[in-house]
Each structure stands twice: as structure tokens, then as C-alpha cells.
Structure 1
Amino acid sequence: MTADAPRIELTPTLGLSKVLTRGAVARRIVHATVAKMDVRLRYPDGTEVGGGGPDSPVLEIVRPAAMFQRLEAHPKIGLGEGYMAGDWRAAPGTDLAQALMPFAARMGRLVPRPLLSMRAVVDRAIPRAQRNTLEGSRSNISAHYDLSNELFGAFLDPSMSYSSAIFDPSRPLAEQDLHEAQVRKVEAVLDAASVREGSRVLEIGTGWGELAIRAALRGATVVSVTLSAEQRDLALKRIADAGVSERVEVRLQDYREVTGQFDAVVSVEMIEAVGEEYWETYFAKIDDVLAPGGAVAIQAILMEHHRLLATKTSFGWIQKYIFPGGLIPSMQAIREVTRDHTELRVERVHSFGTDYAETLRRWRETFDTRWTEIRPLGFDETFKRMWEFYLAYCEAGFATHYLDVAQIRLARKEAR
């Protein structure tokens, strides 16, 4: 673990009491919204509002004034901060992700159209400190991935894969082990990039070394780059334990600083940390180091292009608390950037968003089960609620198709 556990500073409710209408407008908007949804809000006095029936998910509003003031002051941040602060919670018998799914399914329609013109009043610009410059990227990556190897090890499968698994669609999910599904994902990425014996592989984003290990076991040589010192340390140990150290080099290096030629370039859920400003640079670097006849395989979280355009310049809860500097691309954006700035072209796309919902569900279940082991690492109850919300919020996004994930194969157009 790093020297100190992270300090989480929530916006004080005293400051929120002075904003706009002290939450009255937010309360009216929320009530009007949930009236059309299969969900209910329950207040401390037992009053319920919403369009859901007896079996619908129930959200308990513990501190109404604080919650609606947060929502009014910071619409894109207030819901998550309210959960972290204990202003609201899922009622007994209601799963948090299930309660968030009705909202995720209507994400683009939650705010009434007349109020969309007022976005500038409440939207917050992305802080310049989160720009993914060479220095900024190191800081942004460290803020999440250097939290603690022990933290991630507590809820990930033995492969330490922190990205979506791929489950076998021909078998019931309940019969499938997460580790088996994560190995299937890694092997699919390597297959998509045509990694074989003798391949020279560049991996952008090491994780904890599983992909590099499996590429080496195929007989490839691997250069893997990461900005997380914690990840690199554990990845090197796992690579040594697997007996493939002579085939794998792990560098604490930015992808922009890589030189050389590689037959395959692979990158699993790293593009989300690049930032739109640097998508051109990211793909141009891949194009530059890809040897003639080589192939690229990336696994990317995706959103619809119109949602990307609507949200890319505003500051949200995930960026503030989980992935500073992060931005999820669209498939259209990837096609356009590679078309306009590289010789790379998308050849194949395999989407499996519902598998990510299942992956996140299992991570959250394990996180909650093993909290008694995680807490002594230096994390408090606010951190616990932050991660519960993060995992449930993302699960709801994938389950309702607001988000997707795909493995994408690219190659140079002249080699097609």
C-alpha cells in the first residue's frame, strides 16, 4: 500500500445551503422524474414518491435537505457525493445497482429539456490539473492504481484482471468462474492481435501482468509500459513467478515515450485514461511503432457518440473521485481519429457490454464480502461507500446499455 490512505473531502453541506433555491428545484425535478420510473423514494417519515410498484427498487432518503442541496449545486457530482455522505442509501432488500438502473436507462432524459439550456449554470469545467500531459498522466494514474495492490487483490480474481471478463454465452452465468472468464478475455485480445510464437508485443497499460504473462507463454517477447509503480512492482513478481521474466520487460514509462517496432500492439481499457486531447497522439504512436503487417487489439469502454459530445467537457463524479482525467470514447470517435490521423483502420469489433455488468456485480459482491479485510489497509467507511457507488453505478450503465465495451482489431489499411 502507498504511504497514506487517500483523504476524501466532500463538499460541506453548510456551503451548499446558500446555493440557488436550497434544493427545492432539485427536489421538484427528482419527484417529476421518478414519477415516470420503476423506482420509489422513501423519506424518513415513511412518505414514498415514484412510479414503482410494491416490488420496485426503493431508495431511502436519509437526509433530504442535504441530498437535494448537493444535487442542485452539483448535478453530475451530487448524487454520488450524497451516497458517500450517507444522505441516501438503497433500502433493505434493494440492490444498489438495480436501484440505479432506471436512472441509467434514462440518462439522456433525466433533466427536463427546458432546463438543458441552463447546463452552463451548474456544469463544472474539467480542472486543468487533470489534463493528461506527461506529468498529469502520471498523477492521474497514480491516484487510482497506486491506492493499494492489496485493495485490488481483495476483490479481483487470481489473474488480477481489472477489466471486463468475457463469459461463455452457451453456458449459464452461475456455472462460470470469473477467473475462467478473465482468462478467456485475455486470450481473445491476444488472438485479435495475432500474437504467436516470435511476436514482438507492445502492451500499453500493464495492469498486474496477466496479459504479458500469457503472451510470453505463447512464445512472444513483450514490452509492457505502465505509469503505476504499485502495478509494476507486483507485475514483475507475478511475471517472475510464472517463469517468463526473460521474455517480458515492464517499464515505468508513458506510451508517448516508446520507440521501436512491434508486430502486435495490445491495450486493455487504457484508452479511457488518455483523454480526448490525446487520442490522436495515442493512435499515432501505435501507428508509428507497429511493424509492417502487424495488428492492434484494444479493449475499450464505449458510449454513444451523441452522449460523448454532450458530456465530454463537463466534470463528473467519476472524474472527481475515481478516474481523474478519464473520458470514455465512442466507436465513431475511434474510427474518425484513426481515419484522419493514422494509417490504421478498424477491421473487427466484438462488443460484450452485458458481460461487464456481470463482472462488476461480482467485483462489488466480493468487495462487500471482504470489506473486513480491506478496512485495516487504511480505508474508511466513506471510501467503502464511494467504491460501492462506483461499482454499482458502472454496473447499471452496462446493464442498461448506456455503456458498452468492445475488443477492437485495427490494422494498416494497406495490409488489409
Structure 2
Amino acid sequence: MTHTPPEQTPVSPSKSSRTSSNQPAPLRSLAGSNKESWLTRLSRQAVLRQLRALNRGTLSVHENGQTLHFGQADSDGLHAEIHVHDAAAYSTIASNGSVGSGEAYIHGFWSTPDLTAVTRLFVRNLDVLDAMETGIARLGAPALKWLHWLNRNTLDGSRRNIQAHYDLGNSLFENFLDPSMMYSAAIFPPSEDDLEQAQWNKLKRICNKLELTADDHLLEIGTGWGSMAIYAATHYGCRVTTTTLSDEQYAFTAQRIRELGLEDRITLLLKDYRELEGQYDKLVSIEMIEAVGHEYFRNYFETCAARLKPHGLMLLQAITIRDQRYDQARRSVDFIQRYIFPGGSLPSISLIGELTRKHTDLAMLHLEDIGSHYARTLRHWHHNLIAARGELQHLGYDDAFFRLWEFYLCYCEGGFIERSIGTAQVLLSKPDARPKLDLYAMGE
């Protein structure tokens, strides 16, 4: 049987039918393993050999009525299970590495009762994960890098990349986000697990750190669906200028602003951050930097510094990668970059410090890691996505699309739990700023 790999663009529903052209291949029973190609047999041997190196946590692989066991028990008892439904899973993983594991899941070649546990296990065993990128997988790496280069964030490229993700349809996001429509890490108060309340708590924390007042003109880079701009304008009485590259987000936010009668306080733009002009008292950017791209990080911070008045403050909320993994991440392309956020990349904390120190007059005043809160946020989103599966199918989002997004959410949740990625709120200041830095407001 010929195995057709996923297309080279993020799986997205068309406006007419919303049925992805990336349908999973028909499942093939492992019972006919004697008919498998030599490549499939070699791929299986290679993948299982790599799994034998697992030593932090355990894995059970169920196939053809048998169960294979790998790994060693870790202190917290981390255990994952994988059910292989199609031998093509092995050749897909062997040829495309960790990206291939996601592709095989999208096609239905394997499944698991706990996708987050699978992700955690491999993040905890990074040597095994790295080994998957060797061998045959090396042959496909140049193609992945070429595709990623084509998605670089030039002015035109940024618009295409943002629209590839955020213009999938507001109905998709409305079905798994909470009513606040915030698509970023929440901050959960102690003993609270309500996602919407945690999102409002996050915005309050941001505004407190910025010491926002009615006299301020706040610039927001990355509008989302308008929640931050509306919250700041209604709770603090300040003026807000906010910009996005997503047509869907722009239309949604414009309608919210009109309905709330906030046209006099909120200016909504459909512009690239590099095209902004003027200076502002405060600047906020919530999980937008991940869409900037490695080669444009310096320009991003230079632009932010230029848009602030001499007494200005900036609050950056960013998903970050471990400092020790940043250089490797620059040289590779992962599942998220390939199928979810084309052109995307994560900065590290040390990189943020280095770029602001060398190329701007911004000083880092405060840093808070909220990565554990992101894991909880993603868990809520995943549960909401599962609950909305029937509605999403009715809207035309097919099974392959659903598995893609399920893999994406659990992939990220596992990364945050294992702290291979984090989320930081970073407060930066211009030279003339004299913030109070109230520790209570900072959330200490």
C-alpha cells in the first residue's frame, strides 16, 4: 500500500467544506506483517532499538496482540502506552523523526489513552528523542528546513503565517477557548481551577505590572480576539492601540469594540509590528513573539524599544525554550513549526536578555515563570476540544484535523510539565521609567 504523507501546509478546513484534503490513510493490520516491505521491517527494528534506550519512565507498545515493554521506572511512576494500528507508523517515524511521530498520529497509525504522558516520556528522555532525528530521518531534514525557510517572517510571510493558524475560523477557537477568548497561558489563583477566571487574573497581573493608569496610551502587539485591549480600556480607562495580522481576529475584535462602545478608546489596526509608528507610555505583547522568527528577534526588540517613550514600560509574555536547547532548536524544525505555526520559533530567556542588552536601551526589571500554569491551561483546552468534537465535525473539521490539534495541545502540555519549554512574563523598562515594583502587584 502506498503511504501518502501529510501535505506540506498546516492542515486546515477549506471555506467551502472544511474537510481537510489530508485524510488519514486506511488502517493496515499488523497481522499481515509477513507481507510488509523490507523498509517497514527495517524501520520497525530501528525505532524499537531506539526505544530500548529509554531509562526515565516506562513505555508499553501494543501491536498485533503482543505487548513490548521499554524503559525503567522513574521516581514519579511515569508510564505511557502506545497502540500501533498500522506498520506504516514505523516507517513514518523512521523517515521523519519526531515530526513523523505526529504525522503517524494524524493518520491514525497509532493511538494512546494518554497523549500527554507519551510526550512527557520522550521529553524526559531527550537523548532518545534526538536519536530519532538521525539515520534515515536525516535525509528528510533538509526538506523540512527548506519548507521552514520558505515560511520565514518577511512582511508578506508574516501575514501568510499568521493567517495560516489564526484564520482557521473563529468557530474553532470559540469551541475550545473559554468565554474570554484568550489563547495564551492563564494564571490560576490558589485553589482555583476556573479557566475564565484564571485568564482575567492573568490580565489583572499584567496591568498591575505595567502600573497602568487612565493617563496611559497602551500599545498592544498581537491583538488576539481583543480581550487585553478591552480589559485595559474598561478597567483602567486608558487609550489602547492594538494590532493584528489576522483578518478573522480583526473582524471579531472590531465587532466587540463596536458593541461595547469603545471606539473612542481603542484603535484597532491590521498592521505588522514593524510598520507601527509613534511612541506610547506602555507596551504589552502576549505570546506574539513566538511568531517573529529567529532572524527577526533583534528587530522585534528594537522596534518595541523605539515605540516606547523614555519613561515607558513593556510587559512581554513569551513561551520560551531552555537556554541549553536554543541553538539546536534554531537548526531544526519540529512538529509545531511544520504543522501548527509556520515560521514560528521560541526564544530563550538568555537570548531575550542578550538582545535587549546589546541592541536596545531596555532594562529587565522583573521576570516570572508561569509555565506550570500553561500546562493547566492546555489541559482545559484539550478537554474542551474533546467535548466539542461533535460540533466541530458538524462544522466540517474532519478527524485528521481533530487529531492534529489534539497532538498539538498534548505535545505542548507535556513540554510544559517537563519544563523543556516555559512561559515567562518579563517586565522591561526604558531609562527614565521609575516604576514602584510593588511586590504584591507583581504576584510574589
Matched, 1:42 2:65: no
Q: Secondary structure at the match of 2:218?
A: strand
What is the match of residue 82 of structure 2?
Answer: 59
Distance 1:55 1:266 in 2: 38
What is the match of residue 122 of structure 2?
Answer: 103
| Matching residue's letter, 1:257 | E
Equivalent residues, number: 406
* Runs (5+) with no aligned partner, structure 2: 1-12, 29-35, 435-444
Pairs within 5 Å for 1:10-409: 22-34=42-54, 37-51=57-71, 56-63=79-86, 65-90=87-112, 94-112=113-131, 120-123=138-141, 124-127=144-147, 128-168=149-189, 170-171=190-191, 175-217=192-234, 218-409=236-427
Distance 2:329 2:276 in 1: 31
Shift of 1:97: 1.0
User: Is 1:132–1:275's contact at 8 Å kept on the other side of the alignment?
Assistant: yes
Following TM superposition, the consecutive aligned residue runs of length 4 or more in structure 1 with deviations greater than 4 angstroms are 10-14, 16-22, 52-55, 115-122
Distance 2:315 2:247 in 1: 24
User: Is 1:222–1:248's contact at 8 Å kept on the other side of the alignment?
Assistant: yes
TM-score, normalised by the number of residues in structure 2: 0.85
* Runs (5+) with no aligned partner, structure 1: none
User: Is 2:292–2:344's contact at 8 Å kept on the other side of the alignment?
Assistant: yes
User: Is 2:229–2:240's contact at 8 Å kept on the other side of the alignment?
Assistant: yes
Shift of 1:315: 1.9
Distance 2:47 2:138 in 1: 20
User: Is 1:44–1:60's contact at 8 Å kept on the other side of the alignment?
Assistant: no
39 and 179 in structure 1: CA distance in 2 versus 1, 3 angstrom threshold = same
Shift of 1:193: 2.1
Q: Secondary structure at the match of 1:246?
A: coil
Distance 1:56 1:18 in 2: 31
Shift of 1:46: 2.3
221 and 367 in structure 1: CA distance in 2 versus 1, 3 angstrom threshold = same
Distance 1:327 1:111 in 2: 18
User: Is 2:120–2:417's contact at 8 Å kept on the other side of the alignment?
Assistant: yes
Shift of 1:241: 2.7
18 and 150 in structure 1: CA distance in 2 versus 1, 3 angstrom threshold = farther
User: Is 1:107–1:402's contact at 8 Å kept on the other side of the alignment?
Assistant: no
Distance 2:38 2:284 in 1: 50
| Matching residue's letter, 2:67 | T
User: Is 2:19–2:398's contact at 8 Å kept on the other side of the alignment?
Assistant: no
Query: Bigger shift: 23-32 or 328-337?
Result: 23-32
CA RMSD of aligned residues (A): 2.6
User: Is 1:126–1:315's contact at 8 Å kept on the other side of the alignment?
Assistant: no
User: Is 1:105–1:397's contact at 8 Å kept on the other side of the alignment?
Assistant: no
User: Is 2:326–2:347's contact at 8 Å kept on the other side of the alignment?
Assistant: yes
Q: Deviations over 1:382-412 (max 9, x none)?
A: 0000011000110000011111101110012
Q: Secondary structure at the match of 2:413?
A: helix
Distance 2:40 2:88 in 1: 13
Distance 2:388 2:346 in 1: 29
User: Is 1:239–1:248's contact at 8 Å kept on the other side of the alignment?
Assistant: yes
User: Is 2:233–2:240's contact at 8 Å kept on the other side of the alignment?
Assistant: yes
Distance 2:64 2:38 in 1: 24
